[in-house]
């Protein structure tokens, strides 16, 4: 099982690769707002666990296992963000910080139920607005 910290790295790498096609240590450091030397250290740990292949001159590649976790975290991040927006949280910084915390600690069953709620609420905006007004 990867730690929350590892999940954050894999999530960020997955997004960088989706957006730019590659993830260099310097880009990961910038995205996570940490020093490149910490990134290098973490990438070595992720490589030992089999989540990334660290290729010195070609940047970092996710393995199949690493990509699976990165995608899972990116999808959780997106869907939990939708939930908090639906609930009426307006401050995007608060949403981001809360989602970064919650995304690591939900079972897949709970996550599945949250997704079902989000989808239903987005498909029935009037029903949802009524519910929020009443609460």
- Judged by the rule CB under 5 A, the positions of this chain that interact with Co ion are 11, 77, 100, 103
**Strand bridging mode 52-55 / 59-62:** antiparallel
Residue 11 Cβ, how far from Co ion at the closest point, in Å?
5
How many Å apart are CA 74 and CA 91, to the nearest integer? 20
Residue 100 Cβ, how far from Co ion at the closest point, in Å?
5
Helix (H) or strand (E) holding 21: none
How many Å apart are CA 114 and CA 91, to the nearest integer? 21
Residue 107: count of CB within 10 angstroms of its CB? 8
Cβ closest to Co ion, residue 18 vs residue 55: 18
Q: Which residue is nearest to Co ion (CB)?
A: 77
DSSP 23: B
Start-end of H helices in 33-107: 36-48, 64-86, 92-102
Cβ closest to Co ion, residue 75 vs residue 100: 100
Residue 129 Cβ, how far from Co ion at the closest point, in Å?
28
Cβ closest to Co ion, residue 11 vs residue 43: 11
Residue 62 Cβ, how far from Co ion at the closest point, in Å?
16
Place of tokens 């590649």: 61
Cβ closest to Co ion, residue 31 vs residue 128: 31
């Amino acid at each position: 099982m990867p730690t929350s910290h590892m999940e954050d790295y894999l999530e960020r790498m997955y997004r960088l690769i989706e957006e730019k096609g590659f993830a260099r240590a310097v880009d990961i450091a910038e995205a996570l707002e940490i020093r490149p030397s910490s990134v290098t250290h973490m990438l070595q740990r992720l490589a030992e666990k089999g989540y990334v292949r660290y290729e010195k001159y070609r940047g970092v590649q996710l393995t199949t296992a690493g990509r699976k976790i990165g995608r899972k975290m990116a999808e959780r991040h997106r869907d939990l963000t939708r939930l908090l927006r639906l609930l009426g949280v307006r401050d995007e910084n608060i949403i981001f910080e809360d989602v970064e915390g919650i995304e690591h600690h939900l079972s897949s069953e709970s996550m599945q139920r949250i997704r079902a709620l989000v989808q239903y609420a987005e498909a029935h905006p009037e029903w949802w607005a009524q519910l929020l007004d009443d609460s």
